[in-house]
């Protein structure tokens, strides 16, 4: 029996949208690797440009790539999870176990949450200042959402990062999430200007 690691990768890719224009869509897929050594580099340099055109016929190049889940299979013992390999649920458990002062609910994306945990461990004083600002912004956005529900539809941004079946999924929901997030940022910028 073969052994290795099943890695779930998510990100965005470019789609041609006319002359000199490109738009973004989201992707999600799983791939098995024999080792976790330089996994992100292997995915970036050896896998994305080979796999994504096969999964998405409109693929014109990748923009982002993040590992959101790692599962050992076969005769390999699970590797000691590193922060960039953890999914949201695992990071939340990590925060609780290590009694870190990270308010996970204010970090909408997995990457933001990972960066917050990393900063909380490396530079607690700076983290406290940064998180206070982030919390103020989060509360303001929450108030804006409650006062203007028609302008700020609830986006289920965390669902795209939750463990799940790692097969190519319809990118409609993920594309809507990207579109909604961009709209929210534009409206918030206009309101704050």
pTM of the predicted protein model: 0.52
pLDDT recorded at residue 70: 81
pLDDT recorded at residue 116: 94
Distance CA 6, CA 33 (A): 6
Burial category of 143 from C-beta neighbours within 10 Å (exposed 0-12, middle 13-18, buried 19 and up) = exposed
Comparing CA positions, the residue from 145, 147, 146 lying closest to residue 181 is: 145
A 10 A CB-CB count for 192 gives 9
pLDDT recorded at residue 74: 82
For 57, which DSSP code? T
Distance CA 188, CA 193 (A): 8
- pLDDT tens for 54-86 read 999 999 999 999 888 888 788 776 555 677 777
The span from the first CA to the last CA of the chain, in angstroms, equals: 60
Residues of the chain predicted below pLDDT 70: 77-81, 153-193
Burial category of 1 from C-beta neighbours within 10 Å (exposed 0-12, middle 13-18, buried 19 and up) = exposed
- Edge-to-edge strands, sheet with 4-16: 22-33, 4-16, 66-73
pLDDT recorded at residue 77: 62
- pLDDT tens for 107-120 read 988 889 989 999 99
- The answer to whether the CB of 94 falls within 8 A of the CB of 117 is yes
For 65, which DSSP code? -
Could you list the residue range(s) of the whole structural domain that residue 37 is in?
4-192
Largest CA distance in the chain: 60
Residues 6+ apart with CB under 8 A from 126: 119
A 10 A CB-CB count for 144 gives 17
Domain count, the chain: 1
């Amino acid at each position: 029996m073969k052994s290795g690691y099943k890695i779930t990768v998510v990100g965005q890719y470019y789609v041609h949208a006319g002359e000199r224009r490109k738009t973004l869509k989201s992707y999600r897929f799983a791939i098995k690797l024999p080792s976790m050594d330089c996994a992100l580099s292997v995915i970036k340099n050896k896998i994305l440009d080979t796999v994504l055109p096969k999964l998405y016929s409109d693929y014109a190049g990748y923009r982002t790539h993040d590992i959101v889940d790692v599962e050992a299979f076969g005769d390999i013992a699970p590797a000691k999870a590193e922060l960039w390999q953890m999914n949201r649920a695992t990071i939340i458990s990590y925060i609780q176990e290590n009694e870190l002062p990270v308010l996970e609910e204010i970090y909408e994306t997995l990457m933001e949450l990972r960066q917050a945990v990393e900063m909380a461990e490396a530079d607690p004083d700076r983290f406290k200042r940064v998180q206070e600002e982030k919390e103020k912004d989060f509360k303001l956005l929450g108030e804006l959402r409650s006062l203007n529900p028609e302008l700020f539809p609830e986006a289920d941004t965390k669902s795209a990062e939750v463990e799940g079946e790692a097969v190519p999924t319809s990118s409609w929901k993920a594309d809507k999430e990207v579109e909604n997030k961009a709209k929210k940022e534009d409206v918030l910028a206009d309101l704050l200007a």
